[in-house]
């Protein structure tokens, strides 16, 4: 009787303690959600650079802090400098982008008027097109002003990454010990996570740069004004699901049509949907999957989720979250469903 009462009291304490942990965890998650992209970014860079950290500290006998600083500098040069230049290039063209948004609206009106004259009835009212112009003019500064928030995220990301690199072995050992899974599943989780990170953190930007480069060739040949601006915009929009780079080259084609440059507009659309679009499909369905065997649908839906949760930086972390969710389901099945079968 006394033993049953002790077990009962122990369970009450356990439930109370778990409730306190959940409450504090939710409270911290709510207030620290803003820094979640920084944490995910630090984890991503850690998984990509951990072997180099171990090489410098174990084989080259470098001090941990010195090796960590070197990795921070190298990753900053390789990853952040190109992104910074791209953002700077787009930010320097704010006035051009706003003016071009107005030009796009006027060009769209002209093209629609020509089509309406041909078919004999109205397609869309001018008021609706003006609303589109107002939306574009208001959205451009908001998108470019997000640069400041991105810089804050990058600062905290490297701040976290430094301590992760310096304390990497203790961190991994602690995670390995505290995860309530079998050892083989913990190893599988680590291996799959590294694979997923490489597929998303390397595959998505490579696809974007390839599409932007191919588009830039067409922009130069067809004489598009400010081709470097449209190159940067193509790189950014190519990361978006479904529509992708078409958000960049279709508006240019509309402007061509409005200026009676029919041949250039048709060639650009054929080049965009035929060459650039095909390149997107080939790379997205082969390169990303070859790097990490990530299904293209995971990338598409992951980008949608990531943009909603984290903004622009979610282009990388959205697919990562979905991939981790599917991986957790597999591990749960391997961890607990096997036990159920053994019991039965």
pLDDT (tens digit, 0 to 9) for every residue of the chain, 344 residues total?
555 555 566 777 777 878 888 888 888 878 777 777 788 788 888 888 888 998 999 888 899 989 999 999 988 888 777 766 666 666 555 555 555 556 666 666 666 666 666 666 665 666 665 555 555 555 555 555 555 566 677 888 899 999 999 988 888 787 777 777 777 777 777 777 777 777 777 777 788 888 888 998 999 998 888 788 788 778 877 877 667 788 788 888 877 877 778 888 889 889 988 888 888 777 766 765 566 566 667 777 777 787 777 766 676 677 777 877 887 787 777 766 654 444 44
Q: How far is CA 183 from the centre of its chain?
A: 31
Tokens of 115: 């089509």
pLDDT at 162: 92
Taking alpha carbons only, the member of 127, 123, 146 closest to residue 37 is 146
Distance CA 89, CA 134 (A): 23
226 token code pair: 């400010």
Q: Using CA atoms in the order 326, 287, 271, 301, what is the torsion angle rounded to 10 degrees?
A: 10
- Residue at token pair 């740069």: 209
Reading the block at residue 201, the tokens are 């953190």
CA distance 145 to 184: 46
Output the pLDDT for position 66: 92
Q: At what angle do helices 81-91 and 227-237 cross, to 10 degrees?
A: 120
pLDDT of residue 344: 46
């Amino acid at each position: 009787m006394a033993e049953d009462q002790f077990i009962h009291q122990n369970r009450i304490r356990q439930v109370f303690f778990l409730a306190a942990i959940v409450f504090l965890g939710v409270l911290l998650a709510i207030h620290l959600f803003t820094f979640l992209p920084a944490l995910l970014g630090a984890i991503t860079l850690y998984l990509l650079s951990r072997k180099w950290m171990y090489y410098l500290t174990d084989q080259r006998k470098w001090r941990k802090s010195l090796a960590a600083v070197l990795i921070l500098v190298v990753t900053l040069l390789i990853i952040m400098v190109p992104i910074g230049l791209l953002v700077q290039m787009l930010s320097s063209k704010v006035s051009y982008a706003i003016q071009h948004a107005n030009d796009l609206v006027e060009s769209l009106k002209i093209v629609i008027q020509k089509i309406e004259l041909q078919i004999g009835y109205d397609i869309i009212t001018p008021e609706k097109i003006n609303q589109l112009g107002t939306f574009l003019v208001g959205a451009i500064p908001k998108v470019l002003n997000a640069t400041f928030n991105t810089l804050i995220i990058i600062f905290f990301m490297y701040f976290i990454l430094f301590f992760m690199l310096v304390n990497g072995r203790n961190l991994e050992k602690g995670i390995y010990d505290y995860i309530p899974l079998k050892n083989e599943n913990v190893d599988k989780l680590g291996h799959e996570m590294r694979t997923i990170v490489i597929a998303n953190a390397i595959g998505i930007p490579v696809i974007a740069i390839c599409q932007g480069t191919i588009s830039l060739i067409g922009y130069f040949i067809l004489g598009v004004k400010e081709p470097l601006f449209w190159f940067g915009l193509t790189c950014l929009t190519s990361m978006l699901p479904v529509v992708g780079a078409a958000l960049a080259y279709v508006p240019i084609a509309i402007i061509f049509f409005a200026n009676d440059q029919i041949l250039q507009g048709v060639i650009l659309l054929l080049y965009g949907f035929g060459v650039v679009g095909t390149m997107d499909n080939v790379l997205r369905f082969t390169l990303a999957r070859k790097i990490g065997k990530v299904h293209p649908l995971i990338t598409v839906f992951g980008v949608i989720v990531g943009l909603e949760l984290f903004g622009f930086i979610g282009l990388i972390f959205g697919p990562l979250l979905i991939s981790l969710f599917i991986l957790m389901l597999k591990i749960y099945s391997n961890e607990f469903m096997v036990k159920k079968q053994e019991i039965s």
